[in-house]
Amino acid sequence: MQHTKKSGFTLVELAIVLVIIGLIVGGVLVGQDLIKAAEIRATATQIEKYNTAATAFRTKYDGYPGDLISTRATTFGLAAGAGTDGLSDGDGVLENGGTLADKSGVGGESTLFWVHLTQAQFIPDAFTTATGTVAVAAANVAAIATFLPTLKIRESGFIHTAGINGRNFFYLSNPTAIIVTTGALTEAASSGTLTPIEAENIDAKVDDGGTNTGIIRAYDDLVDATAETAATNAAPAAGVCVSNAAGIPYNLTVGGDTVACRLRWRASF
């Protein structure tokens, strides 16, 4: 009787295949982690680049970009506002000159900031369309990109500069519109431009990792002078940036990878 020989994998061969698969999966995960880490570093570097550029501009022109007094801006061939409050007044605070109580909107000095850095060739960006008027005539996301730089980590996020309580800040946010005439940014409720994990990583890398301490803080909306607090946040859940647990931590345990955070980053100028 002739026996048919059946071929197949031995246990050793199966083990080798499983090990190879494991190495491939592990390599993919490590690669994803490296990419995310690179994005975190790129975002931190992006803000520091703008801090450095603003300081260099101040040294060269004796005034901060955007806020440079109008007569000096004109002398150097730079775009200028009317010279009134929030419009190239030289008071050291970036304002938009609009009707908002805290003048934190887009327009005036807050847009001239990017135009001046472009004109002086301190940044590689090409912001040239904004003028020193009270507010920009734009009302959609497509137009926002012509006035504000996008975040390295996520193109749906933008960087806006504004002065609150006499200090200048970078706002890492996800505005959905610029309100015509006032320049106010509309931000989607219960959303953000960073995940809690990303926000915490950036905060920990550059600052102290706390949501309401240090130079980097989470915030509810643009006009907030303080960070988000436990009183304004729900229990950890998807879509929640800051937990109401003890210490007001970033929500890393539940929904930590959903886009829910905005950051307010104190400028060095």
Q: Is the dihedral of CA 112, 117, 121, 124 positive or negative?
A: negative
Phi, psi of 59 (to 5 degrees): -65, -40
Q: What six digits make up the tokens of 232?
A: 């304004």
Pairing of strands 263-266, 216-218: antiparallel
DSSP annotation of 232 reads G
Is it the case that residue 250 has pLDDT exceeding 60? yes
From its phi and psi, is residue 19 left (phi > 0), alpha (psi between -120 and 50) or beta? alpha
Lowest mean pLDDT among 172-176, 224-228, 253-257: 224-228
Give tens-digit pLDDT for 205-238. 999 999 988 999 998 777 666 677 666 677 888 8
In the three-class reduction of DSSP (H, G, I as helix; E, B as strand; rest coil), residue 49 is classed as helix
Phi, psi of 111 (to 5 degrees): -90, -35
pLDDT tens for each residue of 59-81: 999 999 999 999 999 999 999 98
Query: Is pLDDT at 197 greater than 80 in this prediction?
Result: yes
The CA-atom distances, in angstroms, between 119 and each of 70, 88, 214 are 15, 15, 32
Query: If you average pLDDT over every residue of the chain, what do you get?
Result: 84
At 14 the pLDDT is 73
- Report helix, strand or coil for 206: helix
Q: Has residue 32 got a pLDDT over 70? A: no
Polymer length in residues for the chain:
269
Q: State the pLDDT at residue 35.
A: 62
Return the pLDDT at 248. Answer: 83
Using pLDDT thresholds of 50, 70 and 90, give the confidence band for residue 134: low
Residue 6, C-beta contacts closer than 8 angstroms, at least 6 positions apart: none
181 or 27, which is more confident = 181
